[in-house]
Amino acid sequence: MTRPRVFIVDDHGLFRSGVRSELGDDVAVVGEADDVVPAIDRIAATLPDVVLLDVHLPGGGGQAVVTATKRSHPEVRFLALSASDAPEDVIAVIRAGARGYVTKTISGTELVDAVHRVAAGDAVFSPRLAGFVLDAFATEAPPGQQRPSLDPELDQLTMREREVLRLIARGYTYKEIARELFISIKTVETHVSSVLRKLQLSTRHQLARWATERRLA
């Protein structure tokens, strides 16, 4: 496996050095930034494979970095890191274009794993994000606020996607999910990527509301 080039954006210096040492030699850390504007500049300069992005930054949400970078360098991939459990934060960054979300309490090996996965173009869901997605796609909007579904395919999860998400929420790794459902790991990854796409593009009320609350319609 090639060493992915990683860029770390977080306003806490201590946290950045912590992540750096946890990532170890499996990845190459090519740069760091502590706020939105320097992050956008230096990411454009270094063009990393994966940006580890704190959701909360002093100069605005992490999604500002994603949006600005995606415009000029769509090949850069983002993995959101956050101490926050609030769905609107997570959903906002995902909808801006991040390929995944993990909480800051994640272990070093899992983080390395997630970075590799995102570098390979796959999606990474923490159990909590899987829970959010199941919630967002399960609950109906209150009557009166329901928008007509523009694209029913985007606004619903398939049974299989639901099963995969449920297992992620139960703490299963992709390998364990594959074994449990008698499918290949590649298929699991396909399902998760498909869910990510729906999460980014769906107009479902819940998602739209979370996104608008963070001014990201």
Residue with tokens 């580890």, as numbered in its chain: 52
Distance (Å, whole) CA 139 – CA 123: 23
Nearer to other proteins, 144 or 171 (CB): 171
Which stretch in 153-161, 162-170, 189-197, 205-213 sits in contact with other proteins by CB under 8 A?
162-170
> How many other CB atoms sit within 10 Å of the CB of residue 120?
15
Distance (Å, whole) CA 117 – CA 109: 12
Q: How many CA atoms are closer than 13 Å to the CA of 93, on its beta-carbon side? A: 30
On whether the CB atoms of residues 11 and 100 are closer than 8 A, the answer is no
Please tell me whether residue 135 binds other proteins under the rule CB under 8 A.
yes
Least Å from the CB of residue 198 to other proteins:
16
Please tell me whether residue 131 binds other proteins under the rule CB under 8 A.
yes
Listed in sequence order, the residues at least 6 apart from 182 whose beta carbon sits closer than 8 Å to its beta carbon are none
Which stretch in 18-26, 56-64, 65-73, 130-138 sits in contact with other proteins by CB under 8 A?
130-138
Tell which residue, 17, 27, 120, 33, has the closest CA to residue 68.
33
Nearer to other proteins, 26 or 163 (CB): 163
Least Å from the CB of residue 28 to other proteins:
28
Please tell me whether residue 170 binds other proteins under the rule CB under 8 A.
yes
Least Å from the CB of residue 29 to other proteins:
25
Q: Given the rule CB under 8 A, which residues bind other proteins? A: 85-86, 105, 107, 127-128, 130-131, 134-135, 138-139, 166, 169-172
